[in-house]
Structure 1
Amino acid sequence: MEELARLAGITVRTLRFYRERKLLPPPRREGRIAWYDDHHLARLRTIAALLERGHTLNGIAELAEALDQGRDVADLLGVGTPTEEEPVRLTPEELAARFEGEVTPENLAAAMELGYLGTDGDQIVHISRRLLDVSSALVREGIPLAEVLTAGARVRAHVDDLAEMFAELILRHGTEADLHRLRPLARSVVEAELSLALDRRLSKRDEKDAETD
C-alpha cells in the first residue's frame, strides 16, 4: 500500500479513503499480504486527473461503478466481426477531456447501451473513431451529449432498416461475398440521399424565412 501510494503521489491515508469509498478495487490477497498492480495505479491516476477537471469524488465513484458494470470490449466488438470502422482506445480521463463536463454515469450507460463504448481493463474502447470525432465535435458546438446519444439511438433504428434492405437486395442476386464487396456502394447511396435530404430541409427553411420577411 505504501509503494502504491508513493507511485501515485498520494498519502496512504488518502489511499485508504479511496478504498473505503470503493473508488479502488480490492487488492489480490495471498495470506496476509495484499498485492496491488498496474490496474490500481492506473485507477488512482485517473481519479487524480478527473479531480483536476472538477469532478467530485461522488461523481467519480458513480463513473467508476458505471464503467465496472459496463460491457466488455469482447462483447462490444464481437469475435471476427468484419468492420470498416476503427475502434479507439481511451483512458477515462481522455474520454472526460473529449466531452468536458458531459461524461456522467447516465451518458456512459446510454453510450454502452448503444454499443458505442466497452471496457478493457482500465481502458475504454469506442467502437468507431468517426462516431467519436463527430459526437465530440457536436458537443463542442454546444449540443448536450445526452441529446447526441438520443439522436444516435434514432439514427440506429433507421440505419438498421436500411442495412437490412440492402442486404436483402444484394443477397437476392448474389452471395455473402458480394454483400461484403458491395457495402461501399450501399454506404454511398445513404450518404448521397442524406445530403439531398438536408438540401431539401434547408431549402424549405429558406423559403419559410423568406415568407416571414
Structure 2
Amino acid sequence: MAEYRIDDLARAAGTSVRNVRVYQDRELLPPPERRGRTAIYGDRHLSRLRLILNMLDRGYAFAQIKEMLDAWQSGHSLADVLGLEEATGAASSHERPAVVALAELGRMFGAQLTPANIAKALRLGILERHGAHFVAPSPKLLEVGHELVRLDVPLVEVLDLAAELQTETDRVTGLLVNLVRKYVLDPKGPDWLPSGEELPHYADVISRLHPLVMSALSAAVDRSARRVIPDIMGDRLIALAERARAAQERE
C-alpha cells in the first residue's frame, strides 16, 4: 500500500494541503496514522479525498457531504455499503501501484530518461515521486511506454501520446457517466439525497458504473484496433511479404 505525507496526498489528489486540513477539521477525511510527529496517509485517504473533491465539484456543500458519508457509514465502511469510492473512479484502478527505482527506469528507457522527460511523466501522473524512489500508479501504462521505446518510438512522443490518451479517455468516460447522471440522478433535483430505503437501489446504480465504463472502453478499443491496425500497417505488410517472396524466388 502506498504511503503519503500530507503534501504528497494533496498533490496526488490535485488539491492543496490547506484543503486537506479543512476536510480533516470537518471530519470528512479519516485521521492519518501517526509516526512520531509525522502524519502518514494511505490509499484509503487518497480514495476518500478524491471522492470529496468529486462531490464538491458536483455542487454538494460540506454539510451535505458529511450527512451522506455518515448515513452511508452506519455500521459499515463507505466502500462496503456503496462501493462508491471505487465506482465513481475516485479510487485507483484495479492495478496495484508499483515502486520503481531510478536505476530500473534507466534500464527501461536508457539515455532517453532525461530530467525533462521525468518531469513530464510526473506532470502527467505516469510517475509519482516518493522519497528516493518513484511510484507507477499504473504499471501496465509504464510497460506500454517501455515497449514503444523498445520499438524505437522516442520517449518524448510516447509521453505526448499518454497525455492525449488520458484526455480522450477522460472525455469518453465523462460522456458515459454524464449520460447516467442525466437520466438517473439529475431529475431528482440538486438538493436530493436518497432515503435509507432508496439507498440500495442507487448504491447498485453507482457500483455498476466503473465496470460499465471499463467494459465499454475495452470493447470499443478492441474493435478499433482490429480496424485501424490493418488500415495503417497493411500497405507496409504487403510490401514486406512481396519482398520476402522475391527473395525466396532468387534463392
Matched, 1:132 2:68: no
Distance 1:137 1:77 in 2: 28
User: 2:184 matched to which residue of 1?
Assistant: 173
The alignment partner of 1:124 has SS state of strand
- Name stretches of at least 5 consecutive residues in structure 1 with no aligned partner: 1-70
Once the two structures are overlaid, the 10-residue window that deviates more, 78-87 or 126-135, is: 78-87
Matched, 1:185 2:221: no
The alignment partner of 2:208 has SS state of helix
User: 1:145 matched to which residue of 2?
Assistant: 155
Deviation at 1:196, TM superposition (A): 1.5
Which residues in structure 2 correspond to 1:41-60 (within 5 Å)?
none
After TM superposition, the score normalised by the length of structure 1 is 0.57
Bigger relative contact order, structure 1 or 2, given CA contacts below 8 A and separation 6+? 2
Q: Write the letter of the residue equivalent to 1:82.
A: A
User: 1:204 matched to which residue of 2?
Assistant: 231
* Equivalent pair of 1:90/1:125 in contact (CA under 8 Å): yes
| Alignment counterpart, residue 157 of structure 1, candidates 140, 162, 167 | 167
Distance 2:233 2:109 in 1: 33
RMSD of aligned Cα (Å): 2.9
Once the two structures are overlaid, the 10-residue window that deviates more, 83-92 or 195-204, is: 195-204
Identity of aligned residues (%): 28
* Equivalent pair of 1:77/1:127 in contact (CA under 8 Å): no
Count of aligned pairs between the two proteins: 143
Q: Write the letter of the residue equivalent to 1:75.
A: R
Matched, 1:82 2:82: no
* Equivalent pair of 1:118/1:124 in contact (CA under 8 Å): yes
* Equivalent pair of 1:92/1:123 in contact (CA under 8 Å): yes
Deviation at 1:134, TM superposition (A): 1.3
After TM superposition, the score normalised by the length of structure 2 is 0.49
- Name stretches of at least 5 consecutive residues in structure 2 with no aligned partner: 1-6, 15-45, 48-89, 186-201, 243-251
